[in-house]
């Protein structure tokens, strides 16, 4: 019946203009301020595609696995659901199509559901809930989790052109938070975890466990004045980390004119909290993403992202 995992309760948010960006709750206007709040809310989605080992393991490039996570407080029966990508359909509640071994069709509250390709020794010591047929292309795929009515419940790698948002040969692509959307800021490459592959090598990923990037990455919030940004504005931020003192965090403030593909630094080397008077007059006008990025000494990082307009 899957594996029980993160015991974090969901929260209910009712602010207008709210959207989740890379583990960040980005809010339009609240009390005259534009906010981007870096809180992760597992209950904000029911079941998500949480990790994709598209590059296999050290033992074999064919040792692919996929992990689902139930972020709700209730068990979820996925009978009638399917995980699909181009040319592949994996029913989650019956042995048909791409599913040839089905051991469970219920995901426990805050639990994990593991799918392994071809055989059950891809992840040693963790029994697969489903063994499936179907390869993930190294050139990229878009995964969709469908409920019995064909509605898309979750996606992975949506909008990534020519590859994957994260991961590599032998290392998984981990979602930074169950509440994070599916975009370039929401996935990290897996690091060595607690399971072994078929050859006895440590798997770089977290199959059936909370993702390492969620447990170790900084959280950051930021605030900016409302409306088009012109002249000198105050850009404030505050970061914290689950396992790192605030004085060891380094923050940078960045602008992107291409939806996050490239970041242009406004200022770097900032402390974990503070404010910066930014003269926007030297920056071309237009719609941008403003990105506050916090990094710890181990290389884990978190971002707050906000869509804004520079007035020039």
Contact 169/190 with Cβ under 8 angstroms? no
Closest CA to 65 of 149, 146, 1, 124: 124
Q: What is the mean pLDDT of the chain?
A: 85
All structural domains of the chain = 19-40+217-310 (2.60.40.10), 46-215 (2.60.40.1260)
Largest CA distance in the chain: 62
Rounded CA separation 249/253 (Å): 13
Per-residue pLDDT of 27-62, as tens digits, reads 333 334 444 444 332 332 489 999 999 999 999 999
**Per-residue pLDDT at 23:** 36
Per-residue pLDDT of 240-271, as tens digits, reads 998 899 999 999 999 999 988 899 999 999 99
Q: Which two tokens stand for residue 242?
A: 């689950």
* Cα-based torsion angle of the residue sequence 100, 62, 105, 12 in order, rounded to the nearest 10 degrees: -150
Per-residue pLDDT of 66-115, as tens digits, reads 999 999 999 999 999 999 999 999 999 999 999 999 999 999 999 999 99
Question: Regarding predicted confidence, which is higher, 167 or 46?
Answer: 167
User: Cα 10–26–12 angle (5° rounding)?
Assistant: 25
Rounded CA separation 62/85 (Å): 17
Per-residue pLDDT of 21-36, as tens digits, reads 333 333 333 334 444 4
Please, which residues have CB within 8 angstroms of residue 4's CB and are 6 or more apart in sequence?
A: 108, 109, 110, 111, 112
């Amino acid at each position: 019946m899957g594996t029980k995992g993160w015991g974090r309760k969901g929260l209910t948010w009712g602010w207008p203009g709210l959207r989740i960006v890379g583990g960040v709750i980005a809010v339009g206007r609240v009390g005259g301020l534009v906010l981007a709040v870096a809180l992760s809310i597992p209950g904000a989605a029911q079941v998500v595609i949480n990790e994709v080992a598209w590059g296999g393991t050290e033992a074999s490039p064919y040792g692919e696995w996929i992990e689902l996570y139930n972020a709700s407080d209730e068990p979820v029966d996925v009978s009638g659901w399917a995980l699909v990508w181009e040319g592949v359909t994996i029913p989650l509640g019956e042995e048909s199509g791409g599913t040839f071994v089905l051991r469970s069709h219920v995901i426990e509250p805050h639990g994990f559901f593991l799918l392994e390709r071809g055989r059950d020794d891809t992840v040693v010591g963790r029994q697969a809930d489903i063994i499936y047929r179907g390869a993930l292309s190294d050139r990229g795929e878009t995964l969709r989790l469908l409920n019995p009515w064909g509605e898309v419940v979750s996606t992975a790698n949506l909008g990534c052109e020519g590859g994957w948002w994260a991961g590599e040969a032998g290392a998984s692509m981990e979602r930074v938070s169950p509440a994070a959307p599916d975009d370039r800021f929401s996935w990290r490459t897996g690091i060595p975890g607690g399971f072994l592959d078929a050859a006895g090598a440590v798997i770089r990923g977290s199959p059936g466990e909370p993702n390492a990037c969620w447990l170790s990455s900084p959280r950051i919030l930021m605030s900016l004045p409302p409306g088009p940004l012109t002249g000198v504005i105050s850009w404030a931020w505050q970061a914290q980390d689950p396992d790192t003192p605030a004085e060891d965090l380094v923050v940078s403030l960045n602008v992107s004119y291409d939806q996050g593909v490239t970041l242009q630094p406004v200022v770097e080397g900032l402390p974990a909290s503070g404010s910066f008077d930014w003269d926007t007059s030297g920056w071309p006008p237009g719609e941008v993403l403003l990105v506050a990025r916090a990094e710890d000494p181990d290389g884990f990082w978190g971002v707050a992202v906000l869509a804004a307009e520079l007035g020039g």
